[in-house]
């Protein structure tokens, strides 16, 4: 009976190992207050070797571009558009077009207008798509909270 139980546990562990979800991108966040009325939030993607995520500016018919949606608040408001460094560009046969993308790591930034000295945190959701030379993973939505500090 114990052998059967051990065999069942081993099978469940092995099945779990095969069912792991690939997560080739890790996100980190930071904020810097510029003064009592302005701050900048930073959203950093660290991308595993061989993988890439797409730029904020991808043409129609291409992959899902990276995008940021900031939760409306009475305490803060995004100013302008989210910015990115200069992306890489290449023709991708699967989309039959040139695409802009990032490898290894990328830091996006968003200026924030503070409507209160006690703004606390900026919250929202980001969406991105990850691909390598063989496949693309489904687009992923990630909720974020970025403390503004003092």
Q: What is the pLDDT of residue 24?
A: 97
- Fold observed for domain 25-147: Immunoglobulin-like (2.60.40)
Overall average pLDDT of the 48-52 stretch: 97
Instruction: Give phi and psi for 46, each to the nearest 5.
Output: -105, 120
What band does 150 get if pLDDT is binned at 50, 70 and 90? low
Structure tokens at 4: 């059967």
How does strand 105-114 pair with strand 140-147?
unpaired
Residues pairing with 99 in the sheet = 90
pLDDT at 10: 42
Q: Is 7 helix (H, G, I), strand (E, B) or coil?
A: helix
**Rg over CA atoms, the chain:** 20
| Backbone conformation region of residue 50, classed left if phi is above 0, alpha if psi is from -120 to 50, else beta | left
Domain boundaries, the chain: 25-147
Band (19; pLDDT cuts 50, 70, 90): very low
Looking at residue 120, what is its pLDDT?
86
pLDDT tier at 22 (50, 70, 90 boundaries)?
A: confident
């Amino acid at each position: 009976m114990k052998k059967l139980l051990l065999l069942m546990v081993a099978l469940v562990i092995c099945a779990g190992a095969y069912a792991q979800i690939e997560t080739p991108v890790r996100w980190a966040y930071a904020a810097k207050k510029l003064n009592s009325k302005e701050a900048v939030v930073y959203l950093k993607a660290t991308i595993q070797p061989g993988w890439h995520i797409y730029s904020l500016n991808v043409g129609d018919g291409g992959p899902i571009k990276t995008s940021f949606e900031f939760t409306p608040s009475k305490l803060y408001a995004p100013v302008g558009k989210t910015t990115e460094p200069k992306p890489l560009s290449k023709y991708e046969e699967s989309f039959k077009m040139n695409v802009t993308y990032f490898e290894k790591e990328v830091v996006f930034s968003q200026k924030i207008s503070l409507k209160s000295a006690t703004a606390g945190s900026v919250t929202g959701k980001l969406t991105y798509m990850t691909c390598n030379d063989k496949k693309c993973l489904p687009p992923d939505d990630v909720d974020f909270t970025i403390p503004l500090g003092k």
